[in-house]
């Protein structure tokens, strides 16, 4: 197996490196054990000082790191800069809150002294995706490192240059128990056996396989999988706001985000008004070179991803959906795909049930508010949802009926370092970010003294 960059805008192959040999993996695991034991012996304040240094280094190297992301993932250059900035904020956040969150807590009982402490689990293996090669790696790693764990990261095969750059910055920050693991798929189980826990972000199918391997070897796992987020627009909503937010969420990062709004669920009273406003937003997109400031729709990351999206759209059209935007597919170099809006989508269509990882929005027409909630929940996924209504009390009551990990009212779904992030159903289990993410990879140890 080869880790290989291929510029999504041009199709030109760039940075490559081979997968590790078995001996290289065993050597790294042994080194990580030593480094983690030293790291956990330091105070949490010492570890957090390293996170602050990493935050500063990310900002100092923001431009070249963003360019590396752009060259490998194909996202718009401003989106790549935003990813690096968000990762820097993440480091700063945990450097501030981890000391207090990891302080042992006294819990009154009949004992003279009792409570809990928070110990690291050891070395955590992370199998990471390609779409946010800095943010998603650090979203897992930063709280794990703050708690005293070591982090062994298997990057996606298509982002070796960004991954290697990030590893250099972590090392420069003085954080020793962190390494990129250049593993072939067949080596993942060996790495799981050699580590103490597993984190995975990616597809539901691969996540199920990783979870099975972790379970076989009794290793804690956290899974952040796919999503098919509903955007529910009620009759009393601010329709221009809802259309703008929905389009921003759906087409940002070329639609290649698990947490994007993918299914537009609209009630009859505002259906035509919303669709017209949403189409206007979609028509304004400019597809092209992601380094050009005039471009607002980036290419997809790989040729196989474009083929999958095209097949999903073709299936929807065969089963009665209507492409109401009708943009032609770009020709020439690169992996571009046009913004697409599918109306009259039914359960007969693959896109009704599957996650669509590209700039394709599906429109589901609800009969009423109750039917909108039914449609939102009629999916294997349960990552997030957004709901637009002027009646906040009603919106909160309806939000309670949604089977998702997060609900955003009058705003598109997103993530915030201060709030837990994760899903239910086929979107995975466990949480990242906030104190909940910090506690995923610790041993909550009870102590009791007579």
Among residues 72, 224, 432, 440, the one annotated as catalytic is 224
The whole-number pLDDT of residue 332 equals 79
For residue 369, with 0-12 CB atoms within 10 Å meaning exposed, 13-18 middle and 19 or more buried, which class applies? middle
Q: Are 388 and 241 in contact (CB under 8 A)?
A: yes
Among this protein's residues, is 28 annotated catalytic? no
Q: Whole-prediction pTM value? A: 0.96
The whole-number pLDDT of residue 20 equals 97
Give the integer Cα–Cα distance in Å for 194 and 176: 18
More confident residue, 273 or 329: 273
Asked if residue 1 has pLDDT above 80, the reply is no
Centre a 10 Å sphere on the Cβ of residue 218 and count the other Cβ atoms it contains. Answer: 6
- Residue 437 to residues 39, 56, 133, 402, 431: CA-CA distances in angstroms? 19, 22, 19, 22, 5
Asked if residue 329 has pLDDT above 80, the reply is no
Q: Are 187 and 216 in contact (CB under 8 A)?
A: no
Among residues 258, 281, 355, 440, the one annotated as catalytic is 258
Instruction: Render pLDDT for 10-68 as a digit per residue (tens, 0 to 9).
Output: 999 988 999 999 999 999 999 999 999 999 999 999 999 999 999 999 999 999 999 99
The whole-number pLDDT of residue 326 equals 83
- Residue 430 to residues 201, 221, 252, 303, 421: CA-CA distances in angstroms? 11, 8, 26, 32, 9
Among this protein's residues, is 329 annotated catalytic? no
Strands 442-449 and 113-120: antiparallel
Asked if residue 405 has pLDDT above 80, the reply is yes
Instruction: Render pLDDT for 153-167 as a digit per residue (tens, 0 to 9).
Output: 999 999 999 999 999
Instruction: Render pLDDT for 406-421 as a digit per residue (tens, 0 to 9).
Output: 999 999 999 999 999 9
Instruction: Render pLDDT for 127-149 as a digit per residue (tens, 0 to 9).
Output: 999 999 999 999 999 999 999 99
Q: What's the N-to-C CA distance of the chain in angstroms?
A: 57
- Phi, then psi, of 122 in degrees rounded to 5: 140, -125
For residue 240, with 0-12 CB atoms within 10 Å meaning exposed, 13-18 middle and 19 or more buried, which class applies? middle
């Amino acid at each position: 197996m080869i880790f290989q960059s291929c510029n999504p805008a041009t199709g030109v192959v760039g940075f490559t490196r081979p997968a590790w040999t078995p001996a290289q993996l065993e050597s790294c695991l042994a080194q990580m054990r030593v480094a983690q034991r030293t790291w956990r012996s330091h105070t949490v304040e010492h570890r957090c000082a390293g996170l602050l240094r990493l935050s500063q280094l990310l900002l100092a190297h923001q431009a070249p790191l963003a360019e590396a992301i752009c060259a490998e993932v194909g996202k718009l250059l401003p989106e790549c800069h935003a990813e690096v900035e968000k990762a820097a904020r993440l480091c700063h956040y945990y450097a501030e809150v981890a000391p207090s969150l990891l302080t042992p807590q006294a819990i009154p009982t009949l004992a003279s002294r009792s409570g809990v402490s928070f110990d690291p689990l050891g070395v955590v293996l992370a199998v990471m995706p390609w779409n946010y090669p800095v943010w998603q790696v650090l979203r897992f790693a930063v709280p794990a490192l703050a708690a005293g764990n070591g982090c062994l990261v298997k990057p996606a095969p298509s982002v070796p240059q960004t991954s290697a750059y990030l590893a250099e910055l972590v090392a420069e920050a003085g954080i020793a128990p962190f390494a990129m693991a250049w593993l072939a798929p067949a080596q993942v189980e060996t790495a799981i056996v050699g580590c103490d826990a597993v984190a995975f972000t990616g597809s539901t199918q691969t996540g199920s396989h990783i979870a099975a391997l972790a379970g076989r070897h009794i290793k804690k796992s956290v899974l952040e999988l796919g999503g098919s987020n509903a955007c529910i627009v009620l009759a009393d909503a601010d329709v221009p706001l809802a259309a703008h937010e929905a389009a921003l969420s759906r087409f940002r990062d070329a639609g290649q985000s698990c947490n994007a709004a993918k299914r537009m669920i609209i009630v009859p009273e505002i259906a035509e008004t919303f669709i017209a406003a949403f189409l206007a937003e979609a028509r304004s997109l400019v597809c092209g070179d992601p380094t050009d400031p005039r471009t607002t729709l980036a290419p997809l990351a790989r040729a196989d991803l474009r083929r999958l999206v095209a097949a999903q759209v073709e299936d929807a059209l065969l089963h009665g959906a209507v492409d109401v935007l009708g943009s032609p597919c770009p020709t020439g170099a690169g992996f571009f795909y046009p913004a697409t809006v599918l109306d009259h989508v039914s359960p007969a269509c693959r896109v009704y049930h599957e996650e669509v990882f590209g700039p394709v929005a599906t429109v589901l027409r609800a009969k009423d508010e109750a039917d909108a909630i039914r449609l939102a929940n009629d999916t294997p996924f349960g990552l997030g949802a957004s709901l637009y209504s002027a009646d906040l009390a009603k919106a909160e009551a309806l939000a309670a009926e949604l089977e998702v990990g997060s609900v955003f009212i009058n705003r598109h779904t997103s993530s915030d370092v201060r709030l837990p992030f994760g899903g239910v159903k086929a979107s995975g289990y466990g949480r990242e970010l906030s104190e909940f993410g910090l506690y995923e990879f610790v041993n909550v140890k009870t102590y009791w003294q007579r």
